[in-house]
Structure 1
Amino acid sequence: MTACPIHLSSRLPRLPRLPRLPRLDALRGLAMVWMAGFHFSFDLNQYGLIGRQNFYADPFWTTQRTLIVTLFLLCAGLGQALAFEHAARMAWRRWAQIAGCALLVSAGSWWMFPHSFIWFGVLHAMAVMLLLVQLLRPQPGWRVGVERWGWGLAGALLLLPIWLAHPFFDSRLTGWVGLATHKPITEDYVPLLPWFGVMFGGWLLGRWLLKRPSMGVLGGGLGALTGLLQPLARLGRWPLSFYMLHQPVLLGLLEVWTLLRRA
């Protein structure tokens, strides 16, 4: 197995390093902090350290989850727009990291929640969505057309679960599509529909902003980052590492707190 290692870097030229966009990093960092706060609240609830909360049905919590996932996927779409501008091919190493972490999330959640483990959460969805965006990558012959029909496609993707939901998609084998008639029992569920519409919309928005560099989070005309935006931007450079580590750290701290209380 190890006698003849294959080094992809020796076969493929390295992708150019993408420029950092501090405002996009800060927006992603905001999503990460919000996510950590949400998960810490969930953990406190599991340990019985706050008043009993229903994270699965209470609109206060379900709305937050929806907004957090929306912000993450918008940032992912914006990042793909930037990547397409500066790289001729997909960053397969990064994709492999995301897909591998998705498998680790499934394994870890199965150990903690065997009856509701994460079989298609945000990382699973991200891995598939990155492949789909790559398929929709504009080609020279139809680059103008993508803006023409792209927003309509993004809107249709958001609405398809309302129009086409069917019991056929209620199993784990088909539930990842997003046309299920009810939400499955799982700790995190981010099906392709409607969520790919969010990421695809972020990609279209990124393409639009890149043509207007003085506007929005992709622009540079709004001055230097100040205040809390600077640490958020630094944090936003490490979304995958933060995602994989923040829950073990939070749970570890709660375990230590529980042991100290019993001592």
Structure 2
Amino acid sequence: MLWMTAFHFCFDLDFFGFINEDFYRDPVWTGQRTAIVSLFLFTAGLSQAVALHQGQTWVRFWRRWLQVAGAALLVTAGSVAMFPNSFIYFGVLHGIAAMLIIVRLTAGWGACLWWLGALVIALKFAAPHAIATWPALDVLNSPALNWLGLINRKPITEDYVPLAPWLGVMWWGMAAGQWALRHRPHLLGTADAAATGVRRGLVTLGRWSLSYYLLHQPALLGLVWVAAQMR
């Protein structure tokens, strides 16, 4: 989350002309985005493993899912206002909302989740060759289907997190969490009641991750906009 904040701050500086970077093609920035999203989705899968281990009911799951889905709609609405020609229709929160259901339903598949995750990731790289070989598959590039991720042309949107390859990363997170709970539970941390200082701040940040995700970028944009007006 701290890495994401720094990344978005740099994006905002570029948006308002303080720096000049290519966030859409420069590997320095696209590589960071890939790493940040991977950490987000791996952690989301791991967290689902912990939630199930702690007895999370479907009622509680759906309550949380509605929060994520509602937040995704807010992101879409905000991006339409700011980027009308490249608004977000299947970004991180949209992807998480879809993947959470799939990961929850397949949580009992055990070690198969490692192989399924690898398969989904591989499909992302195989799709461009398949579409080039069978032109009829170009329909997968359409807005109605490109959320699957089986494309050879990236859609014009500010944030794009389709099922392939990202469902694979979340499946790996679930599998890793289940393995850790069985064999290395200490890797998932201990009670944080006595946490102080920086650690306590990070614990709080993690507990309010969705709220922070929604609010940090508007706050950063506001600050950079004020600086731009002063300049």
Matches within 5 A, 1:41-56: 41-50=10-19, 52-56=20-24
* Structure whose CA Rg is larger: 1
1:152 maps onto 2:115 in alignment: yes
Structure 1 counterpart SS, 2:107: coil
Residue 203 of structure 1 corresponds to 174
RMSD after superposition: 1.8
- Offset at 1:237? 1.1
- Offset at 1:211? 1.0
What CA deviation, in whole Å up to 9, does each residue of 1:117-168 have, x standing for no partner?
0010000000000110122132xxxxxxx33422111111110112234322
- Structure 1: how far apart are the matches of 2:185 and 2:93? 32
How many corresponding residue pairs?
A: 219
User: Which stretch has the larger CA shift, 78-87 or 207-216?
Assistant: 207-216
Q: Could you tell me the TM-score, scaled by structure 1's length?
A: 0.78
Matches within 5 A, 1:34-183: 34-50=3-19, 52-90=20-58, 91-138=61-108, 146-165=109-128, 166=131, 167-183=138-154
For 2:225, the aligned partner's letter is E
Change (3 A) 1:212 1:107: same
- Structure 2: how far apart are the matches of 1:175 and 1:137? 25
Structure 2 counterpart SS, 1:236: helix
For 2:81, the aligned partner's letter is W
Q: Percent identity?
A: 50
Residue 157 of structure 2 corresponds to 186
- Offset at 1:116? 0.6
Unaligned runs of 5+ in 2: 132-137
For 2:10, the aligned partner's letter is S
What CA deviation, in whole Å up to 9, does each residue of 1:87-140 have, x standing for no partner?
2533111100100110111111011111110010000000000110122132xx
Q: Could you tell me the TM-score, scaled by structure 2's length?
A: 0.89
- Structure 2: how far apart are the matches of 1:88 and 1:63? 34
